[in-house]
Amino acid sequence: MTILQAIKEAAHFLEKKTALSKEECKIEADYIFMHILKTCKSKLYTILDEKISETKTEKINAILQLRLKKPLSQILNKHLFYNDEFYINDKVLIPRPETESFIDEILRQGDLFYKEKNRCVLLDAGTGSGCVGITIANERSDWQVIMSDISMDAIKVAKRNVLLSKYNNVSVICSDWLKPFAYDSLDIIFSNPPYISTNDLQIDKSVLDNEPSIALFSTEDGLGDIKKIIRNAKKTLSHSGMLFLENGCSQSLTVKSILESEDFTDIRVHLDYNKCGRFTSSKNKNG
Ligand SMILES: C[S@@+](CC[C@H](N)C(=O)[O-])C[C@H]1O[C@@H](n2cnc3c(N)ncnc32)[C@H](O)[C@@H]1O
């Protein structure tokens, strides 16, 4: 069988056996073949007429069977985020494209801050795999990036991913949100905290079964951790320091009003590519 025929068969198998869309099945099939054939997408397309060996077919079939139980990123232990392939296991959230789409906005606003103050200390609070902190550190060599998480399992993954960092500007610590940080010590806080309500019945079964609950659920209708971060950000952020928060689709107006009640200024809700209010950015007028 040629590689092209085998990819088509794999995509067809995923279409039949999983809830993925046709497009997602095609992307995953390509990704599995790139992994097994140790090649990139552009090279894969140049060898489509070549025959695939039996050993490789067996390996691909084994991945397809596993895919019925687990997300592909957990099977392959890797996930592409922005420009890098991050190590992933079942102890961390699989990085989401929504989060990736917010990186450029953080860089844009952070650049304005850096231009004015000539420094930028950024905390990625609840870093998980470290995908956000490491990406930002790689994009801005002059910024100092701290990544924190309460889960030691996540810290181990983030530390492993620090190997992807290009400059010596990232550190990792274990902490409960902002507790160890001194007054006025941070210029930017980014957090994608757990924000799903513990009563949410609509959560995707694959997410529920495979991703760590500490990364997903929060009390107070999903807003418990967001509230803690906002209250403490006020103290730890420097003057005009910025807070970037990810939240659930239906939560952005409530997050905005919590920010208002805690005296944050320049509050903006940012939409994701589904036109859903997924992020807020705001400034600390104190500090
Ligand atoms: C939704 S995941 C985000 C992971 C990563 N930042 C991303 O966007 O892919 C939330 C992360 O917050 C961490 N977390 C949960 N409670 C925490 C706490 N009290 N203090 C610090 N981190 C916490 C979890 O372990 C998890 O890694």
- CATH assignment at residue 242: 3.40.50.150
Is there a domain that residue 152 lies in? yes
| Residue whose CB lies within 8 A of the most ligand 1 atoms, among 87, 96, 127, for a mutation test | 127
Is there a domain that residue 81 lies in? no
Q: From the CA of 19, how far away is ligand 1's center (Å)?
A: 27
Same domain, 164 and 232: yes
Percent of the chain with pLDDT over 90: 98
Is there a domain that residue 77 lies in? no
User: Residue 254 is encoded by which pair of tokens?
Assistant: 């409530």
Same domain, 188 and 248: yes
- pLDDT band at residue 285, thresholds of 50, 70 and 90? confident
Same domain, 167 and 128: yes
Q: How far is the C-alpha of 58 from the C-alpha of 63, rounded, in Å? A: 9
Query: What does the mean pLDDT of the chain come to?
Result: 96
Lateral strand order in the sheet of 237-246? 170-174, 144-149, 121-125, 186-191, 237-246, 277-284, 264-271
Specify the pLDDT at position 278: 97
Pocket flag, ligand 1, residue 132 (CB < 6 Å): yes
Same domain, 127 and 226: yes
Same domain, 146 and 265: yes
Is there a domain that residue 202 lies in? yes
Is there a domain that residue 23 lies in? yes
- pLDDT band at residue 287, thresholds of 50, 70 and 90? low
Is there a domain that residue 232 lies in? yes
pTM (global) more than 0.85: yes
Same domain, 251 and 123: yes
Number of domains in the chain: 2
Same domain, 220 and 159: yes
Is there a domain that residue 88 lies in? no
Whether the per-residue pLDDT at 286 is higher than 80: the answer is no
Pocket flag, ligand 1, residue 123 (CB < 6 Å): no
Q: Report the SS3 class of residue 98.
A: helix
Q: From the CA of 215, how far away is ligand 1's center (Å)?
A: 5
Percent of the chain with pLDDT over 70: 100
Specify the pLDDT at position 238: 96
pLDDT in tens, 240-264: 999 999 999 999 999 999 999 999 9
Q: How far is the C-alpha of 148 from the C-alpha of 150, rounded, in Å? A: 7
User: Residue 283 is encoded by which pair of tokens?
Assistant: 């400034």
Same domain, 161 and 279: yes
Same domain, 60 and 122: no
Same domain, 219 and 121: yes
pLDDT in tens, 32-69: 999 999 999 999 999 999 999 999 999 999 999 999 99
Q: How far is the C-alpha of 29 from the C-alpha of 11, rounded, in Å? A: 5
Query: What domain range is 13 assigned to?
Result: 3-69
Is there a domain that residue 7 lies in? yes
- pLDDT band at residue 164, thresholds of 50, 70 and 90? very high
Pocket flag, ligand 1, residue 193 (CB < 6 Å): yes
Same domain, 161 and 249: yes
Domain boundary among 54, 69, 84: 69
